[in-house]
Structure 1
Amino acid sequence: MASPGNGSESQSIPNKKQPAHGDHSHHLFSSSFRSSSPLANEVIARDLEACPDVDDDDDDDATIRGDDAEGSESSDGTPGPTLYRRPSGIAYGATRPALSLGPAGLDEQPILSQAERARSREAERSLLRDNHILPPKHHPSQQPRGPVASLYKRIFSTKVPRRAPDEEDPIDESTSLLGEDRGRPGAPEHHHENLNSQWEAAVAAGQIKTTWQREAKTIAVYSRSLILTFVLQYSLQVTSIFAVGRLGTVELGAVSLASMTATITCNAPVQGLATSLDTLCAQAYGSGHKKLVGLQMQRMIYFLLLLLIPISAIYMNSEAILLAVGIQAPSAKLASIYLKIMLFGVPANMIFEAGKRFVQAQGLFHATTYVLLVAAPTNIFLSWYFVWYLQWGFKGAPLAIVITQNMLPTLLCLYVWRVEGSEAWGGFRRAAFKNWGPMIRLAIPGMVMVVAEWLAFEILTLACGRLGVATLAAQSIVMTVAATTFQLPFPMSIAGSTRVANLIGAKLVDAAKTSAKVTVAGGIIIGLFNVTLVSVFRYQIPYLFTNDPEVTEIVANVLPLVAVMQLFDGMAAVSHGLLRGIGRQEFGGYANLAIYYIVAVPLSFWFAFGWGWELKGLWFGVTIGLCLVMIVEYVFIWLSDWNLIVKEAELRNSSG
């Protein structure tokens, strides 16, 4: 979310023999997640001591550290490009995807590839053209436009309107670098070695503006691949619900119960612990020690595999545990069967989560998308084949997921081996069994934040188990609908976070505010779309999962409330993304946790059991909580001093 997390633009490449040491003036809970974390530097220093062979000066590293390296200085001594960031810290694949409190968008991030650097250069040129500082890319046509073409250009053009001559900024020692013929069609466009000077002069003179059209286009481009990736991985869970929903009410509720148990006991802890790699792998790659990225991944995999012992104990005794918390016997028995089969996919899930961070640290986010483009359709086919064609019934659904989960790390390894990313793999090393302390210190807070956020929603499913089989089945459908619609605003929040942090890092305060407003507008539009979709089809949606009249009636009664919640949920996702974009994500994390557990969950139980509203009461409490989260975070963003945020970002980047 990010989520399309953020990369760095103005980071200087540290000396290869000495990892960079960030100088942060505060030690908040979230500061340990940042890529310049002292803990991350400590890990790299120890690993270099234990594995001196990873610090070789090969040709590739020398090339990257040349004039085309991200973050390096050009021949004239000016900083490298500033307008490209890559998303990071994204945890997805469960009902509530999460954007970890990983590397802040305003801090130092790993070096970019030459292709990414080229995109950054082009982004700078494009903004300079739109502000009439560089000449247009193409000569404007001399032929008169028709009314339709003129209207289209007026609405969708990304050009900043020209100001009147008396409003032009005075030419001084800053703007003189831009040249007297700036913005004139046919004027020579400066080569990239002068682009830094042009860009810095334009920023210093306050001449770089943006339009809502440009920001809307940028955020849409950032979002589209993320939405695809989120939907594909979430489909692994949704397919099971579709596959077994028509087997019966008990089966439908058991799938939801088993998924909730798996999320709390396995998926959330694994994803939360793996967020430490967002810092460790990013710092290793950014400091030029590529092979340490593979070492960090190995270390995390071995650590996660140790969790198989407690997870296996929970899954094997899940029926007794569920019965002890008040779940009815038929649902508890089927959920236990589901979890015992799912246990065979847990190791692969752990390896994939670590592997995902391995490729993300190298900027290869599309690798996961390609893997899911193969795995997700396979999962759909296997679910149908096992559950319905072979008539294996309920057991076929988790078996299909297990096979798919084992495919994910296999396909990812094949991609790294045969396509790209293998340069960060240094082979299996004994050092992976050492130096776990700093990694665990980074991993535990990440796990706490992710588990705490997901737990608030999964508690609803556990509570529904006490309300009866039909209510539990209805909760399975409602939760699936809410989680599916959430896959739209959440990727957009990551895109907005990336773009805002991008512009803040480039010292463009007004442009960052414009981008933030566009992101909020996009969140409102998506929220209203989800509200309309769920409201209009509230009687049809239940029949996609079941034909049971009691379950469909419960779902139809709750969906109007869930529809209203979609607006608050989407807007809260956007606000949390914007907080991350301005480097204030710790406030959002604490606000979410406080409101979920002090307001939302207690209200949910009060309405559900005290007032007898049952499932509607559970979701009413969550709706109130999300509304409060949205209000608190937007007020905080509105009152924040964005100029101070820019200065803090500049200070962190320079000290890094």
Structure 2
Amino acid sequence: MEKGLEEKLLVSKREEGEERLGRKICAESKKLWIVAGPAIFTRFSTFGVSVISQAFIGHIGSTELAAFALVSTVLLRFGNGILLGMASALETLCGQAYGAKQYHMLGIYLQRSWIVLVTCAFFILPIFIFTAPILRLLGQADDIAAMAGTISLWFIPVIFSYVFSFTLQMYLQAQSKNIIIAYLAAITLVIHVLLSWVMAIKLRLGVAGVMGSMILANWIPIVGQMAFVVCGGCPDTWNGFSMLAFRDLWPVVKLSLSSGAMLCLELWYNTILVLLTGHMKNAEIAIDSLSICLNINGWEMMISLGFLAAASVRVSNELGRGNAKAAKFSVIVTVATSLSIGLVLFTMFMLFRGKISYVFTNSPEVSRAVAYLSPLLSFSILLNSVQPVLSGVAVGAGWQSVVAYVNLTCYYLIGIPVGVVLGYAIGFQVKGIWIGMLFGTAVQTLVLSYLTWRTDWDKQVAMALTRVNKYFVPSSKETDSSPPTA
């Protein structure tokens, strides 16, 4: 009888533990989706602007499509990588400061990031001004390089829009106030579709019409976000423009540089894939098919980047609060959720193969090439469901410099050499290059998984609190309320 009673007690305790765990998962999932939901939708809409532009340009001509693909996938990703990487320092600083309840510091960090990123954007400009000779030097065909040189000039206002877009999004995400970004992104996407149709199809302005619409689509949300922040949407974290933004810039620059290195090495990885493809037989078809695959991959990547943002916010907030267990639990829930979605999409794209390519092109040859690359696309999607989330954990904890070394080794010392051997030496062409790149991503994912698993989260809490206190500046309210010194 006693044995039976003990078994019932054990079962009861187990059920109680499972119920408690279920409640914890639900609570964490709710916090996760408050950030991830709007972030995913926003990234879908923002990426949609580029994809819609490519779809319209693809129906203008194959040379225009190849040129747009080169500029957006190579040059724009180069600039995007630098600015987004450097802006991710703001995720670490704002997230941890918000968790530590140093709310007024978020506005100061935002303004410091503007100063750093605007300066950086001016250094990137020559790449877009001298696109044609740069691409010819890299071995691209003359007609594609010439068209790319024209298109790249239209991307200059887009590059400057990223300075404010990235920083405002990270500032609002740290406070879980990014629903306003999602609303603005949705409105912008509709405007871009209508404007592109009117300017490219009805008015027959061609590339100029599509690119003009794209510039407007990138700046409209920034105006809305700025209005929201300045006009009282963030009363605790925005106290107006301050000269304090020009103080202690060097620590922000250092963290921005390490963040930039981490993300640039990652984003430029696919860029090299496109550049290597440009040297193969039937380069135009190869670039077109690969750019379509990367666009489809990019759509799925928006989901992963939403979870990256959520992982960064949740980890940084909990570390700022001093809660090591909550930070670790958040990592587990975020990775599991993203991986589940990745498995569903992996299965779906394995079934559909190249049929979706007709959204971007009318060419049967390009469509067949896309179908040939579809299995690799599916495996890329699966890896993307884990790897960016782990990068988000790194951003939230402030490990950017460590991950930069991991990315350098896995991508550039392993992935690219393997891809070159398979693509050129063995003769697998585009497929061989992509297999090599996937191998590098798989190794990087394993390394990041190991680093995350071995992390001492109590130590990370101590490091986060040290960082928050190091950069702390008393608010004007605190200064006004303090007693006068003798």
Q: TM-score range by the shorter chain?
A: 0.7 to 0.9
CA contact (8 A) 1:215 1:518 kept: no
Query: AA paired with 2:278?
Result: G
| CA shift for structure 1 position 436 | 3.4
Is 1:390 paired with 2:200? no
Query: AA paired with 1:369?
Result: A
Give the secondary structure class of the aligned counterpart of 1:210: helix
Is 1:321 paired with 2:164? no
CA distance in 1, matches of 2:383, 2:426: 24
Alignment correspondent of 1:453: 266
Is 1:441 paired with 2:254? yes
1:604 corresponds to which of 419, 429, 454 = 419
Give the paired residue count. 454
Structure label with greater radius of gyration: 1
1:401 corresponds to which of 214, 219, 243 = 214
CA contact (8 A) 2:304 2:388 kept: yes
Structure 1: where are the runs of 5+ without partners? 1-161, 170-182, 184-205
Query: What are the equivalent positions in structure 2 for 1:159-178 lying under 5 Å apart?
Result: 164-165=8-9
Structure number with higher helix proportion:
2
CA distance in 2, matches of 1:297, 1:217: 28
CA distance in 1, matches of 2:248, 2:395: 30
Residues 152-173 of structure 1: CA deviation (Å, up to 9, x unaligned): xxxxxxxxxx99446889xxxx
CA contact (8 A) 1:319 1:332 kept: yes
2:223 corresponds to which of 410, 428, 436 = 410
Query: What are the equivalent positions in structure 2 for 1:41-80 lying under 5 Å apart?
Result: none
CA distance in 2, matches of 1:305, 1:438: 17
TM-score in terms of structure 1 length: 0.61
Query: AA paired with 1:335?
Result: A
Q: Structure 1 residues 647, 470: closer, same or farther in 2, change over 3 A?
A: closer
1:536 corresponds to which of 344, 351, 361 = 351
CA distance in 1, matches of 2:117, 2:160: 8
Give the secondary structure class of the aligned counterpart of 2:60: coil
Residues 9-59 of structure 1: CA deviation (Å, up to 9, x unaligned): xxxxxxxxxxxxxxxxxxxxxxxxxxxxxxxxxxxxxxxxxxxxxxxxxxx
1:210 corresponds to which of 18, 21, 43 = 21
Alignment correspondent of 2:286: 471
CA contact (8 A) 1:264 1:455 kept: yes
TM-score in terms of structure 2 length: 0.80
Is 1:275 paired with 2:275? no
Alignment correspondent of 1:370: 183
Alignment correspondent of 2:475: none
Query: What are the equivalent positions in structure 2 for 1:238-317 lying under 5 Å apart?
Result: 238-281=51-94, 293-317=106-130
Query: AA paired with 1:531?
Result: F
CA contact (8 A) 1:254 1:334 kept: yes
Q: Structure 1 residues 430, 492: closer, same or farther in 2, change over 3 A?
A: closer
Q: Structure 1 residues 396, 617: closer, same or farther in 2, change over 3 A?
A: farther
CA contact (8 A) 1:253 1:474 kept: no
Residues 317-362 of structure 1: CA deviation (Å, up to 9, x unaligned): 1111111110111211121111101213333332333333443454
CA contact (8 A) 1:292 1:424 kept: yes
Percent pairwise identity: 24
| CA shift for structure 1 position 474 | 1.1
Alignment correspondent of 1:480: 295
Query: What are the equivalent positions in structure 2 for 1:113-262 lying under 5 Å apart?
Result: 164-165=8-9, 209-211=20-22, 214=26, 217-218=29-30, 219=32, 223-262=36-75
CA distance in 2, matches of 1:470, 1:296: 45
Alignment correspondent of 2:432: 617
CA contact (8 A) 1:489 1:570 kept: yes
Residues 208-263 of structure 1: CA deviation (Å, up to 9, x unaligned): 94138637854556533332122122212111111212222212211111112333
Alignment correspondent of 2:166: 353
CA distance in 2, matches of 1:310, 1:604: 31
Residues 516-560 of structure 1: CA deviation (Å, up to 9, x unaligned): 665554444322222222222223111111111221121111112
Give the secondary structure class of the aligned counterpart of 1:488: helix
RMSD: 3.6
CA distance in 2, matches of 1:355, 1:636: 30
Q: Structure 1 residues 653, 591: closer, same or farther in 2, change over 3 A?
A: closer
Query: AA paired with 1:319?
Result: A
1:568 corresponds to which of 383, 389, 396 = 383
Give the secondary structure class of the aligned counterpart of 1:541: helix
Give the secondary structure class of the aligned counterpart of 1:487: helix
CA distance in 1, matches of 2:90, 2:396: 20
| CA shift for structure 1 position 611 | 1.9
Structure 2: where are the runs of 5+ without partners? 1-5, 470-486
